[in-house]
Amino acid sequence: MNESRKNQVSLRGASAKEITRDALLDRVNQERELRNYARRAKAAALLIQRTWRRHHATESAALLLREEWEMMMRRRSGSLTGVQMSVEILRPFLFFIEYLCVRLGKIGSRDRECMMSCFRIVLEDVTSKDPCKSFCSMTVGSIEERRLWFYQSKKLISVCLFVLSLFDYSRPRAEDIVLTSTAMHLSVILTDPKGWNHIPLDGKKDANAAVKNLIKFAGSKRSRLYDCIRKFILTLETPFSSKDLPKDDRFVIIASAITLSLRPFHLTNIDINEKATMESAIQQYCISMLTIPWFPQRLPAILVPALRHKSVLSPCLRNLLILKEKILEEISEMDQLKITSRKMPHVGWALANVVCLATESGMSSADLGKFTESLDYSSYLHVVILLAENLLVSLENSTQRKMKNKEIGVDYDPSAESFLDMDETTCGSPNLSYLDLFRPISQQWHLKELLAFEKSVSICENDSLSLGNPEYSSKQGLLLITYYYSCILQLFSALGPVIKSFSVLNMLSFTPGFLPRLWGELEKSLFHDNIPIANTNLASSNTLTGDRSGGISGRRQKSLSKETSNKWVNMLHKITGRSPTENDPIDSVNDQTSIGHIEEHPSEEWDIESLRQGPEGISKDISRLLLLFCSSYSHLLLILDDIEFYDKQVPFTLEQQRKITSMLNTLAYNSLSRGISPRYRVLLDSAVRCLHLLYERNSRRQFCHHSLWLAPGKNNRMPIAVAARTHEVFSAADGAPSPSEGSAITTMPHIFPFEERVKMFRDFISMDKVSRRLAGEGTVPGSRSIEIVVRRDHIFEDGLRQLNSLGSRLKSSIHVSFVSDSGLPEAGLDYGGLSKEFLTDLSKVAFSPEYGLFYQTSTVDRHLIPNTSARLLDNIMGMFEFLGRIVGKALYEGILLDFYFSHVFVQKLLGRYNFLDELSTLDPELYRNLMYVKHYDGDVRDLVLDFTVTEESLGKRLVIELKPGGKDICVTNDNKLQYVHAMADYKLNRQILPFSSAFLRGLTDLISPSWLKLFNACEFNQLLSGGNHDIDVDDLKKHTQYTGGYSEGSRTIKLFWEVFAGLEPKERCMLLKFVTSCSRAPLLGFKHLHPAFTIHKVNCDTPLWASFGGPDVDRLPSASTCYNTLKLPTYKRSSTLRAKLLYAINSNAGFELS
């Protein structure tokens, strides 16, 4: 800029800085905005002044009118015509009441008196028989009179509803009761021309038309009819006691409110133009009334049938389907007003109220109920499905919102674990909760009625009643019922208390023929008759068990239907139509043999093509069928005993059971290996639960070949290394994920052959040993190994004293120094053999029944189980922890122990529950007795049983209650199934739980629980004690070592293998036990026997001609079990070698023969 222009001289004669163009524009804009703001502020001030002046003037006019109206009412004498009533009484009254009461939302004492006076005058006028002196006579007058009547009647009804909305039923005052009852009486009279005594016959049509228009207004959203009634009903107590009906007019208020709310439903002769208006009224009823918590329970019982009438319920159901988007959106908006509330969503109350209104059944489970007369089953089922699915979505969104708030720490109350406010969901009584409203659904009559209707009529033949969704419009019959119950089960699961769903599952499981029908639909949809099922000699098992009954007589069926609460067991026979007396259930209890010869089929043949993509590859219809079937059948399997499952084959034959297993195995494997979306988790959890129950039953008593349990399609099976890594990752995760959140190997390890899982187990141990070395454990001087001194005649006590406190340090190697019976140290160094001898000898002592810690079961297997009488010993739990560590050490080092634990005990070690049929492996006599009680056809009271069990301890008889107060509860036909399972639970779970828990604590110090869960109970015993089959001669020969001068080509060695191959299988096992102290071979072969099987040469002087018939070596073979070594003299003849071997192994001696 030019220097001469830096300073400018203004016209004012003073020097000023030059203003830029942008600054000038900004200043101009600011000044313009200030002027606009001032102009708007002035206009707003004028508006406020005008409004206030108008309000003040109106209020003054209203107050003046009220005074004049009160004076007029005091001076009034004689009757008025209808027009006079309208002009002189109603016009000023409606004006000042609107401004002095309605707009302020309160009623003063003077206004209450004015209302009472007006309402009484109008009531007297309406009921007058003089047609010229009645307000309602204006409905048949001129057009202007009709319009005036309609306008003022609308205002009157609005005032009456306003009075109702302010009435608090729980804290009423006498004057409020009189005012509200009078107002509701007036509303009912105005909307019912039958109560008008003055209308001439030729004016009935006009009067009805006027009332019809008035009712249409009442049903509109502008009248706020349903909002006011909702507000009033919410003040009613729940549940309403009909025994204590109020003696004042409060009952009239309730009845009038309900009557007024149902007026739009009873309109007749509605044309097409008026139909939309009526649908709007029904829509408001559904939104405001059906979403009231405990709606039917808040009302006197005498009023509920009016709500259940087909003229009310059917239009509601129909409109819920036709206008579902709009109705559900408005209901959702009601929830959004309280977004942080923990109350039940309004759609949940709509669902519960629809179920209550559609069914007529008491809250007691023993009550026999029925559906509301003329109920539209199709609409009912579709509406329940619609509302239940929306409620599930709402609950899921609320849970996600709660978890999100928990993550960010906003508005999260750690003490508020429950999503729902129990004050709202318990109906004022702790004995009645929200889920109890669905009790009719869990009663058998409910399902029978639906199935009967499904057989006679196609449920979805009316397309207009579909949900507007192609996936619903085609659903018919059984499929729609399946959708219905699967939604209910999902709802019960989402709301938390699992016990509440038991009643529904009981009903579904025991309803005759329902499960077979579900399976029939699944079989047709999934198998297409192309899956080969293994042929077994059980195909004709029905004939073998004496199925001589083609069904149950009609009288028998009728009797059973009346006694469903106490005939659970007989229901199992009804499922398949078999007679409960067709065979003797007790005679077959001991038949625990294998299920004949089951042909093996490759796993590819069990691979169901339609399930290869998991739930994602099947339709929603099939997934719903699967969910309901798996949930119901898994529940039935919990109480289905082996007699019913294997002998009577109810509800399915064994061939069908194999198909079911194949379906579940394929579905679960493909779902877990591919991953599924969250919406299928409930289905997968149910399928896995059902599969596990079938697998446990098959593990105890086989009904299908082991190949069926493997991963379907061998080529699709994941590599064992990948599976092992996956198992480690999921096992290390915090918490116990549900099956749907785990992996295939953690959820269903049986998909891999047993041998591969054993290899995986050994690999885990090898990796653990490596990780310990890398972590420096055992590398500190003096801690590389554990040095102990053990007296042979006190091996258990010394081991307990020196090793029990080590915990996981017991994984380190043990160096044992033995002290002989004479008290002298035994010579020798421990290079692993002595520690093996220590573990095997200690196990023989501790697990011997003579020692008293364990006893043998009364079955032929003579398996070991904790002796509960030992609980009186000092430090008994410490002893069991020590034994757990000894077994863990044996598993950790791969040392085989020569005994089997009871199936019941191992199940507890694996963290699994023992069910009724496990009792047959523990106490067959008690099992037979319980089966006798369960299948007893007479009155169980004759057996004089109660819910107690008697035990003897130290000569004293102890009475133990199976349930609280059990000694005072008699076993009857109603509760005999509870008694049977309570007794089994005590014997199989509760009684041995302290011992198994202590044993498990010691076991898991060395063996990770996740490693053990790779196996079932039978496999655990094999892992501990080796295989129970014959010895593989070639495998043993291949992995045998020779010392002392022997070699594979030595003459005596050749003779040994010749003799060994010729022994009986039992004799070979005895020889193996003679050498290794265990009669069973290692599971993965003798390659994994440590130390290796060794034959050591014992030189003996024999003449050369001993090979040709002279005297042979007279010395017996001996063994060193700690080194798995057979000390074999140099026999010359096979006959001598065989005789000496058999003598040695039958003498049950080792070193003594040396």
Q: What is the pLDDT of residues 181-195, one digit of tens each?
A: 999 999 999 998 887
User: Could you give the count of Cα atoms lying within 13 Å of 448 in the half-sphere of its Cβ?
Assistant: 12
C-beta separation of 630 from 664 below 8 A = yes
Q: Give the pLDDT confidence score for residue 362 in this predicted structure.
A: 56
At 517 the pLDDT is: 92
Place of tokens 């007794």: 983
pLDDT tens-digit readout, 413-431 = 443 334 444 345 555 555 5
Residue 553 has pLDDT above 60, yes or no: no
What pLDDT, in 10s, does the model give residues 371-412?
998 899 999 999 999 999 999 998 888 777 777 666 665 444
Q: Read off the pLDDT of each residue in 565-574 and give the average, rounded to a whole number.
A: 42
Report the alpha-carbon distance of residue 965 to residue 494 in Å, rounded. 33
In this predicted structure, what is the pLDDT of residue 560? 34
| Nearest CA-CA partner of 1024 in 854, 867, 1150, 910 | 910
In this prediction, residue 627 carries a pLDDT of 92
What tens digit of pLDDT does each residue of 681-728 get?
Answer: 889 999 999 999 999 999 989 999 888 898 886 556 666 666 666 666
**Beta carbons of 214 and 149 less than 8 angstroms apart:** no
φ, ψ for residue 670 (rounded to 5)?
A: -65, -30
pLDDT of residue 659: 93
Residue 590 is predicted with a pLDDT of 43
* pLDDT score, position 561: 38
% of the chain exceeding 70 in pLDDT: 78
pLDDT band at 542 (very low <50, low <70, confident <90, very high): very low
**Is 156:95 a contact under the CB 8 Å cutoff?**
no
Q: State residue 731's pLDDT score.
A: 61
Residue predicted with more confidence, 138 or 431: 138
Task: Give me the pLDDT at residue 328, please.
Answer: 94
**Whole-number pLDDT of residue 892:** 93
pLDDT bin (cut points 50, 70, 90) of residue 646 is very high
Q: Could you give phi then psi for residue 492, rounded to 5 degrees? A: -60, -40
**pLDDT at residue 951 greater than cutoff 90:** no
Q: What average pLDDT does range 573-583 have in this prediction?
A: 42
CA atoms within 13 A on the CB side of 570: 20
> Which pLDDT belongs to residue 39?
93
- Which is more confidently placed, 870 or 422? 870
Q: What average pLDDT does the segment 878-886 reach?
A: 95
For residues 321-349, give the mean pLDDT. 83
Burial of residue 730 (number of CB atoms within 10 Å: 0-12, 13-18, 19+): middle
Is 1100 known to be catalytic? no
Preceding peptide of 239 cis, ω within 30°: yes
Are 164 and 253 contacting, i.e. CB atoms less than 8 angstroms apart?
yes
* Cβ proximity of 1105 and 1052 under 8 Å: no
pLDDT band at 776; cut points 50, 70, 90: confident
The 3-class secondary structure across 837-885, one letter per residue, is HHHHHHHHHHCCHHHCCEEECCCCCCCEEECHHHHHCCCHHHHHHHHHH
pLDDT at residue 919, as a whole number: 93
Q: Considering only CA atoms, which of 909, 914, 905, 1083 is closest in space to residue 1013?
A: 909
User: For 632, what's the count of Cα atoms within 13 Å in the CB-facing half-sphere?
Assistant: 27
The confidence band for 1072, taking pLDDT boundaries of 50, 70 and 90, is: confident
Find, among 888, 887, 843, 879, the residue nearest to 1006 by Cα. Answer: 888
For residue 856, the cross-strand partners are: 864
The residue ranking higher by pLDDT, 240 or 817, is 817
Buried b (16+ CB within 10 A) or exposed e, 1056-1073: bbebbeebeeebbbbbbb
User: 825: pLDDT confidence band, cut at 50, 70 and 90?
Assistant: confident
| C-alpha distances out from residue 733 to 685, 730, 736, 742, 909, Å | 19, 5, 8, 10, 21
Q: Which one, of 283, 264, 147, 154, lies nearest residue 216 by Cα?
A: 264
- Compute the mean pLDDT over every residue in the chain, rounded to the nearest whole number: 81
pLDDT of the residue at 596: 44
User: Which amino acid would we find at residue 270?
Assistant: I
Which residue type occupies 580?
P
Q: Is the pLDDT of residue 999 over 70?
A: yes
- DSSP-derived 3-state class of residue 433: coil
- Residue 16 token pair: 């000023």
489 vs 563, which has greater pLDDT?
A: 489
- 413 vs 432: CA distance, rounded Å: 26
48-57, 76-85, 674-683: range with lowest mean pLDDT: 76-85
> Residue by residue, what is the 3-state secondary structure of 1045-1056?
CCCCCCHHHHHH
Read off the pLDDT of each residue in 632-654 and give the average, rounded to a whole number: 93
Q: What is the DSSP letter of 170?
A: T
1021-1039, pLDDT tens digit by residue?
A: 999 988 766 788 888 989 9
Res. 1150: pLDDT tops 60:
no
Which of the following is catalytic: 114, 427, 1069, 1122? 1122
**Looking up tokens 């074999």, which residue turns up?**
1128
- Widest CA span in the chain: 154
Mean pLDDT, rounded, for 140-149: 90
Q: How many CB atoms lie within 10 A of CB 780?
A: 8
Q: Which residues contact 534 (CB under 8 A, 6 or more apart)?
A: 598, 599, 600, 601, 658, 704, 705, 708
Torsions phi, psi of 1085, nearest 5?
100, 170
Instruction: Show the tokens assigned to 712.
Output: 């379907």
Tokens 């006599």 -> residue = 925
The pLDDT tens digits for 501-540 are 888 999 999 998 999 999 999 998 888 654 444 433 333 3
Tell whether omega for the bond before 651 is within 30 degrees of 0, i.e. cis. yes
Q: Which region among 207-216, 333-342, 811-820 has the lowest average model confidence (pLDDT)? A: 333-342
Helix runs in 924-964, H state only? 924-934
SS (H, E, C) 249-281: CHHHHHHHHHHHHHHHHHCCCCCHHHHHHHHHH
How far is the C-alpha of 155 from the C-alpha of 149, rounded, in Å?
Answer: 10
* pLDDT tens track for 421-473: 434 555 555 556 888 889 899 899 999 999 988 877 544 444 434 444 444 44
pLDDT of residue 1149: 46
Residue 1154's pLDDT band, with cuts at 50, 70 and 90, is very low
Under 8 Å between Cβ of 901 and 1021: yes
Cβ atoms within 10 Å, residue 59: 15
Query: What is the arithmetic mean of pLDDT over 257-285?
Result: 84
Residue by residue, DSSP assigns 1015-1072 as: S-HHHHHHHHH---S---HHHHHHT-EEETT--TT-HHHHHHHHHHHHS-HHHHHHHH
Residues 6 or more apart from 134 whose CB is under 8 A from it? Answer: 82, 125, 126, 128, 196, 198
Residue 1046 or 546, more confident: 1046
φ and ψ at 461, to 5 degrees?
-75, -20
Is the per-residue pLDDT at 603 higher than 80? no
pLDDT of residue 1026: 83
CA angle 1090, 1011, 677 (to 5 degrees): 150
Quickly state the pLDDT bin for 955 (edges 50, 70, 90). Answer: confident
pLDDT at 1017: 93
Q: Is the pLDDT of residue 1045 over 50?
A: yes
Spell out a b/e string for 829-856, using b for 16 or more CB atoms within 10 Å of the CB, else e: ebebbbbbbbbbbbbbbbbbeeeebbbb
Which tokens in the block code for residue 1038?
A: 């291949």
pLDDT of 89 strictly over 80: yes
138 neighbors 125 (Cβ within 8 angstroms):
no
| pLDDT surpassing 60 at residue 1093 | yes
Cα separation, 265 vs 241, whole angstroms: 27
Q: For the segment 782-797, what is each residue's pLDDT rounded down to a tens digit?
A: 446 788 999 988 999 9
The band of 1070, judged by pLDDT with boundaries at 50, 70 and 90, is: confident
Distance CA 997, CA 878 (A): 11
Instruction: Give the pLDDT band (50/70/90) at residue 546.
Output: very low
